[in-house]
Amino acid sequence: MTVKIRHSIRANKDYSKVYIDNLLKDFTPLYVKNYNKNYKHKTKIIEVQYGKQDMRGVPSITFIDDRHCVPHQNHFKNNAEMVAYIQGFLQATRGY
């Protein structure tokens, strides 16, 4: 599975680039596993993209499947909200 991180998420002044990379490295496989468990799609998620995605210009988490479709996308108001969502998901899932 490929992970693409747009520059906008790494440009956050509150967190270092290494922290964001490590956070997404921990978050991505757990989030995809949880998504597959809850939605049971027949397609395989091959890519996860983080950052500004479309003409709305808001940060999002986007799944790309093996048919190059977007079966799931979460939108956030800003990067801080997206990082808080990721941290909360990790805390709830792993307990740290």
Identify the bridge partners of residue 71 per DSSP, sorted by sequence position: none
Question: Domain total for the chain?
Answer: 1
Q: How confident is the model over 20-76, as pLDDT tens digits?
A: 889 999 999 999 998 888 877 778 899 999 987 667 778 899 999 989 999 989 999
Q: What is the pLDDT of residue 96?
A: 58
Q: What is the pLDDT of residue 8?
A: 66
Torsion of CA 7, 71, 76, 91, to 10 degrees: -90
CA-to-CA distance for 52 and 6, rounded, in angstroms? Answer: 7
Confidence check: pLDDT of 11 > 80: no
Single-letter amino acid code for the residue at 33? K
Confidence check: pLDDT of 83 > 70: yes
pTM, full prediction: 0.85
Q: The domain containing residue 38 runs over which residues?
A: 2-94
- DSSP, res 47: E
